[in-house]
Chains A and B, each alone.
Chain A
């Protein structure tokens, strides 16, 4: 900004400098992930957002879009413990959180911790397991602790659940209830790669090149970055903008959107407002900015809101998606 020259407040400048320093690992991560993932910039960016916002992410997309590979690669690129759970209809909560095992030698029960005790948990095809297993995982996600027998264990930070689900196969699945899906900070919908990207994918798969992902980021760096994200400046105007968006999902008629009222069965919860604010800060961090602008809110609004806006049967009959509703809201709410 050329014309604005004087009186710049110190904290923003210092914050910008700090962000530049602490966000360096993002480039390293992107480089490492680029070894296995071609394109899918949107998906990788959302994974980073979840990582920096201390939120969990649900990836939805048809099979073969490298959802699992991306999560595995991200975990491999960070010095952290990673575990993968393939959700199946016969999975039990004990298979996830662990159980008490009787030891004959010690004549006592000992705790056998489950795969949820990791920094990155990949819950593959989360909608394939019954509700009790989903609940066990979602409880761990929210409380960040697990109780086995009479003992409660805190989960190690960073703790991030990256779940995937397939939108096309609905038979034999247990769709996540609205209250549980709300625990995910972001729900990213992954689309097919572009033509030239897919050409590159073919070429990469034909080559016999070592694609081992090396750990390039330490857990501490992630934790420090999370603290910085929380410190990013968000003006009151942006807060109001976020509130306007969330309130427009609850009371659309107050935002000249009365036609949306019969289409929305329930709007975003306060958790939506919190997550929208945190994710906007994380997005500003990725863009190396010490302050949030309306573009940041808009950029992540769909991912934060799409699973938090409940549609009525009328909307479903009209083939209206949550994305359509969010678009209408974003086009109606005035930008500060």
Chain B
């Protein structure tokens, strides 16, 4: 048993010795490969990618804008990442950055981006350097750094021998009509709202005023209708049957309705006194006016004061009504219609 245990121990020891040698060899080979690859890659970069940062001036006035342009030219087998510029390039503050412009030739690509930068204190500032990362065909990641540009920011020369002057007031920019568009629109809406409100209030008030009561109008012309109704009244022989009040009520109702149909006058809802007050607003001659008022006041006496007129008066009343209609009928009728009447 003992010998077998010793045998196993020796085997394990030999196994450890072999693995240590293997590790050393592997490390040596790896280092050699890395050094060779680095040497070759540097050589490739130098040949396949270049980056420049150019400024249109090296001297600016304080607060002035300076244009910078970054150009990266590289072979198509490289993948280049443009540097991300957020608020400054070197010590210069970024005002505006253009979009990245890409131009591809046969074997190379050029990326370019323009920047507007500025500085708000006098002195010397560096614009850049900008670090550019790229990936080689083999997958290695490397970077490239552009040159930095020294920019001198000058202040305005002040003649201290002269007296100090106050700060100039802000310049007044002339107004343009476009600036007033919101005001025009607002004003228009305001005026329109006020007009709408006034119209609404008027409409409500108008609605509150007594409206003309709509009664169905006869199909015939007012005078045709009135004459027919008066004829009917005569045929009913009301006063002959001691229905004098009813007779005069019917007579005045016909006359009042005729006034409504002929003159659009709400006479059925008006008292005799009110008709007397309003009569001058309607176009009828003096004879017609007097005749109407006389008929209405006579009828009132019969209707409300127990007065019984003589038979001759009853006959004359309806004749007067016919005469009133003759005096006030519409004159612009066609001949045929008149004949039918």
Contacts and interface: CB of A to CB of B under 8 A. Distances in A.
A333 B311 CA distance: 32
A324 B205 CA distance: 11
A170 interface: no
Interface stretch (A3-11, A20-28, A55-63, A180-188): A3-11
A107 B287 CA distance: 85
B301 A336 contact: no
B210 A291 contact: no
Contact of A1 (B213, B270, B301, B303): B301
Given A4-B310, A4-B313, A12-B305, A332 B269 contact: yes
A8 B313 CA distance: 13
Interface stretch (A74-82, A136-144, A218-226, A230-238): A230-238
A56 B284 CA distance: 46
Contact of A331 (B266, B306, B308, B313): B266
A293 B309 contact: no
B273 A295 contact: yes
Given A9-B308, A291-B306, A331-B269, A4 B208 contact: no
A318 interface: yes
Given A1-B298, A7-B309, A336-B249, A298 B271 contact: yes
B110 to A, nearest CB: 78
A237 B304 contact: yes
A237 B303 contact: yes
B297 to A, nearest CB: 7
A1 B305 CA distance: 12
B268 interface: yes
A335 B307 contact: no
Contact of B208 (A6, A11, A318): A318
Contacts of A235: 245, 303-306
A271 interface: no
Contact of B307 (A1, A256, A324): A1
A331 B302 CA distance: 24
Contacts of A295: 271-274
A294 interface: yes
A5 B313 contact: yes
B301 A4 contact: yes
A86 interface: no
B234 interface: no
A334 interface: yes
Interface residues of B, number: 31
A291 B301 CA distance: 9
Interface string B286-302: 00000000100110111
A4 B244 CA distance: 12
A256 B266 CA distance: 15
Given A1-B297, A5-B313, A295-B271, A332 B210 contact: yes
Interface string A318-336: 1010001001101111111
Nearest to A336: B303
A290 interface: yes
B316 interface: yes
A242 interface: no
Contacts of B297: 1
Nearest to B317: A3
Interface string B305-338: 1111110010011000000000000000000000
Contacts of A320: 208
B298 A4 contact: yes
A122 interface: no
Q: Counting chain B CB atoms within 10 Å of each CB, which of A233, A289, A290, A334 scores highest?
A: A334
Nearest to A327: B210
Contact of A233 (B298, B305, B316): B305
Given A295-B272, A320-B208, A332-B269, A3 B298 contact: yes
B257 to A, nearest CB: 10
B333 to A, nearest CB: 30
B269 A335 contact: yes
A235 B244 CA distance: 14
A33 interface: no
A217 interface: no
B252 to A, nearest CB: 9
B222 to A, nearest CB: 19
Given A1-B301, A7-B307, 10 more contacts: A4-B301, A8-B308, A235-B306, A318-B204, A318-B208, A328-B210, A330-B269, A331-B213, A334-B268, A335-B269
6 contacts: A1-B297, A5-B310, A238-B304, A318-B208, A331-B210, A333-B269
Interface of B: 204, 208, 210, 213, 245, 249, 266, 268-274, 294, 297-298, 300-310, 313, 316-317
The 7 closest A-B pairs by CB, nearest first: A331-B210, A291-B305, A7-B308, A4-B309, A6-B310, A9-B306, A294-B271
